[in-house]
Amino acid sequence: MDLQLSGRVAIVTGASKGIGLAVARTLFEEGAHVVATSRTRTADLPDKVIHVAADLMDPQAPARIVARAVEEFGGVDILVNNAGGPPPGVTLPRVGSLTPGDDDWREMFEFNLFSVVRMVRAAVPAMLERGGGAIVNVSSGSARQPSAMNVDYGAAKAALNHVSKALSEEYGPQGIRVNTVSPGPVLTDWWTKDGGAADVIAGMAGADRDSVIATLAPEMMKLSTGRLVHPQEIADVVAQLVSPRSGSTTGAELVVDGGFLKEI
């Protein structure tokens, strides 16, 4: 299927690894001009992908990223707000609503909500100049599955879902589609790195990292597929959503979670 992305200009945040890297590579392979942003560039990004080193906790970063896209390619057609999860230096999971303090809450919302709001604020004028565009915000199943684990993270993503829906209503008539993708647990660095989620859960359960990833986490989260989601599975859905072939899809939340969410 031709996704009709050739020549379109895409910004992807959090593109150094995991979902963001998979999205950046997929859009590039589909013919888009990609501006990838993260704190550091990874060797896994294709050489022709433009990388902008930025920390999205910096309120000035979004304007610089959009300006670089306009400078290199003349505008912006696509924005994928993937950066999120644990703020820099933070390890999740955190158990208990009393565990995160005020600073933890502020950092979580800064990274998972406010940085997205600022990216949208910077990109929308450039999209409107080209007659429209497509925005995909990467949320989480945790936004609709309240839990005492990572309560601040879930709350920030729930707020992101609300903002995404509001943006779709505001800008849909002006040609900008806004959708949300909500992954479940994805096999990324968040889980697999030393001291990451798998190690934290292993310490709590008296298990080892490999068994947590292969068996314990899917069982604990009641994943119907019996495994964690692969980043490419998220990237494929994002690519479809930003494609003109999804021209009537806006204000939607697409869940790619291995069966994590059970409600109707």
- The answer on 127 and 218 residing in a single domain is no
92: in domain: yes
Helix axes 18-29, 231-242, angle to 10 degrees: 50
- The answer on 196 and 87 residing in a single domain is no
- The answer on 204 and 109 residing in a single domain is no
Give the model's confidence band at 190: pLDDT under 50 very low, under 70 low, under 90 confident, else very high.
confident
The runs of H, that is alpha helices, within the chain are 18-29, 61-73, 102-109, 115-129, 151-171, 189-192, 197-205, 209-211, 217-220, 231-242
pLDDT in tens, 130-150: 999 999 999 999 999 998 889
- The answer on 96 and 23 residing in a single domain is yes
234: in domain: yes
How does the average pLDDT of the chain come out, rounded?
A: 96
109 to 70, 129, 187, 192, 233: CA distances (angstroms): 28, 30, 23, 24, 26
CATH number at residue 39: 3.40.50.720
Query: What residue numbers bound the domain in which 166 lies?
Result: 9-184+230-249
Per-residue pLDDT, 91 = 84
pLDDT in tens, 29-73: 999 999 999 999 999 999 999 999 999 999 999 999 999 999 999
pTM of the shown model: 0.96
- The answer on 190 and 87 residing in a single domain is no
- The answer on 158 and 120 residing in a single domain is yes
Higher pLDDT, 149 or 160: 160
257: in domain: no
- The answer on 62 and 161 residing in a single domain is yes
Q: Which of 263, 198, 257, 192 is nearest to 228 (CA)?
A: 257
Per-residue pLDDT, 261 = 95
92: pLDDT strictly greater than 90: no
Which residues, listed in sequence order, are joined to residue 208 by a DSSP beta bridge?
Answer: none
263: in domain: no
In the structure encoding, which two tokens stand for residue 47, read together?
């050489």
d(CA 39, CA 62): 13
Per-residue pLDDT, 264 = 81
218: in domain: yes
- The answer on 71 and 159 residing in a single domain is yes
- The answer on 209 and 168 residing in a single domain is no
3: in domain: no
Active-site residue set:
153
The C-alpha angle 20, 24, 29, rounded to 5 degrees, equals 145
Q: Which of 257, 79, 256 is nearest to 178 (CA)?
A: 79
Which residue's entry shows tokens 């709590």? 204
User: What b-and-e string marks burial along 149-165, b requiring 16 or more CB atoms within 10 Å of the CB?
Assistant: bbbbbbbbbbbbbebbb
Per-residue pLDDT, 200 = 87
- The answer on 172 and 101 residing in a single domain is yes
254: in domain: no
33: in domain: yes
- The answer on 205 and 103 residing in a single domain is no
In the structure encoding, which two tokens stand for residue 169, read together?
């209503």
pLDDT in tens, 226-240: 999 999 999 999 999
3: pLDDT strictly greater than 90: yes
- The answer on 86 and 158 residing in a single domain is yes
Q: Based on the structure, what is the number of domains in the chain? A: 2
